[in-house]
C-alpha cells in the first residue's frame, strides 16, 4: 500500500499555551478510499529531509488551513508550517514524486514557484462555477462548480512560470493548475469536504497521486 504524506494546519490552543498540528479526519477517510495509507506529517521537526527519508512516502498532499505567514494581515499564520512545507515540496520535486496542493497548499506551491496571491471576496463558505481550458491532459475531472473556503487567490496574472492554468472562477482567479510533467497538481477547492465525490473525481485524485484507479466507495482497504 502506498503511503501518502498529509501536511497539517498548526494552531495554538488558548489557555494552555499548547501548539498543535491538526488534520481534518475526512482526509484519512478519503486517502483510504483511494486505496492508500494516510500519514499525517509533523510541522516542527528539526530536520525535514531526514524525517521524510525515514518515512519513505510515495506522494505528498499539502492541505488547507493557515494563511501564509508572509501575507499582509495573515489569519492564523504558521511559520513553522511554511518552513516545513517549503522543504517538503523541494524534497518531493527532487525525488520526482507527486505533489497535490489543496487550497492553501496550491497557494503555497504557486508562491514557492515564484507566483503571487491577492485578496479575494465571495470565495468563503459557498460554491461557485468553474471554467475549464481546452486540451487538458487525459483524466482531468472537470466539476462544473466547487466548494470555496479561501480569502486569498491566485490572480490571472499571478500564476508562476512553469505552472499551467487548468480552471478559473468567474472572476478570473486560478482554481486549478498543473506542471507539464504531471508531477504537481494544484486545486483551490476541498475534495475532502465533499460528501460524495463522483468516480471521475476519485480517478483524478488517484492520477494526481500516482495511485491505481479507485472508485468512490466507503470500504476501507484490507
Q: What is the pLDDT of residues 188-200, one digit of tens each?
A: 999 999 988 999 9
With cut-offs at 50, 70 and 90, classify the pLDDT of residue 214. low
Which residues make beta-bridge pairs with 94? Answer: none
Using DSSP's 3-state secondary structure scheme, residue 80 falls into: helix
**Predicted confidence (pLDDT) at residue 219 exceeds the cutoff of 80:** no
CA pair distance 185, 177, nearest whole angstrom: 6
Q: Are strands 174-178 and 184-187 parallel, antiparallel or unpaired?
A: antiparallel
pLDDT at res. 213: 83
pLDDT at res. 75: 86
DSSP 191: G
User: Of 4-18, 31-45, 56-70, 86-100, where does mean pLDDT reach its minimum?
Assistant: 4-18
**Predicted confidence (pLDDT) at residue 215 exceeds the cutoff of 70:** no
pLDDT at res. 199: 92
Q: Which helix (H) or strand (E) holds 37?
A: strand 37-40
Segment 136-141 shows an average pLDDT of 86
- CATH architecture designation of domain 3-208: 3-Layer(aba) Sandwich (3.40)
Q: Which of 130, 136, 180, 177 is nearest to 158 (CA)?
A: 177
Segment 160-180 shows an average pLDDT of 95
Phi-psi region of 188 (alpha: psi -120 to 50; beta: other; left: phi over 0): alpha
Are the C-beta atoms of 193 and 179 separated by less than 8 Å?
Answer: no
> What confidence tens digit (pLDDT) does each residue in 49-88 have?
999 999 999 999 999 999 999 999 888 999 999 999 999 9
C-alpha cell of residue 3: 503511503
Q: Which of 165, 132, 127, 166 is nearest to 146 (CA)?
A: 127
Domain ranges in the chain? 3-208
Indicate yes or no: pTM above 0.75: yes
Rounded to the nearest integer, the mean pLDDT of the chain is 93
pLDDT at res. 7: 98
Q: How far is CA 18 from CA 12, 13, 163, 180, 210, in A?
A: 6, 5, 38, 42, 36
pLDDT at res. 24: 97
With cut-offs at 50, 70 and 90, classify the pLDDT of residue 218. very low
Amino acid at each position: 500500500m502506498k503511503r501518502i504524506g498529509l501536511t497539517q494546519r498548526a494552531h495554538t490552543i488558548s489557555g494552555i499555551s499548547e501548539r498543535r498540528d491538526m488534520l481534518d479526519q475526512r482526509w484519512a477517510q478519503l486517502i483510504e478510499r483511494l486505496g492508500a495509507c494516510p500519514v499525517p506529517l509533523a510541522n516542527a521537526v528539526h530536520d525535514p529531509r531526514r524525517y521524510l527519508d525515514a518515512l519513505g512516502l510515495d506522494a505528498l498532499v499539502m492541505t488547507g488551513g493557515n494563511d501564509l505567514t508572509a501575507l499582509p494581515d495573515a489569519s492564523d499564520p504558521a511559520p513553522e508550517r511554511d518552513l516545513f512545507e517549503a522543504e517538503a515540496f523541494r524534497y518531493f520535486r527532487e525525488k520526482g514524486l507527486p505533489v497535490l496542493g489543496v487550497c492553501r497548499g496550491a497557494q503555497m506551491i504557486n508562491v514557492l514557484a515564484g507566483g503571487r496571491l491577492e485578496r479575494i471576496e465571495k470565495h468563503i463558505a459557498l460554491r461557485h462555477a468553474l471554467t475549464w481550458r481546452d486540451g487538458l491532459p487525459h483524466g482531468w475531472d472537470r466539476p462544473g462548480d466547487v466548494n470555496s473556503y479561501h480569502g486569498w487567490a491566485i490572480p490571472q496574472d499571478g500564476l508562476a512560470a512553469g505552472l499551467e492554468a487548468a480552471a478559473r472562477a468567474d472572476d478570473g482567479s486560478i482554481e486549478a493548475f498543473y506542471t507539464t510533467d504531471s508531477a504537481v497538481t494544484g486545486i483551490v477547492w476541498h475534495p475532502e469536504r465533499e460528501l460524495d465525490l463522483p468516480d471521475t473525481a476519485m480517478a483524478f485524485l488517484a492520477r494526481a497521486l500516482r495511485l491505481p484507479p479507485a472508485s468512490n466507495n466507503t470500504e476501507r482497504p484490507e
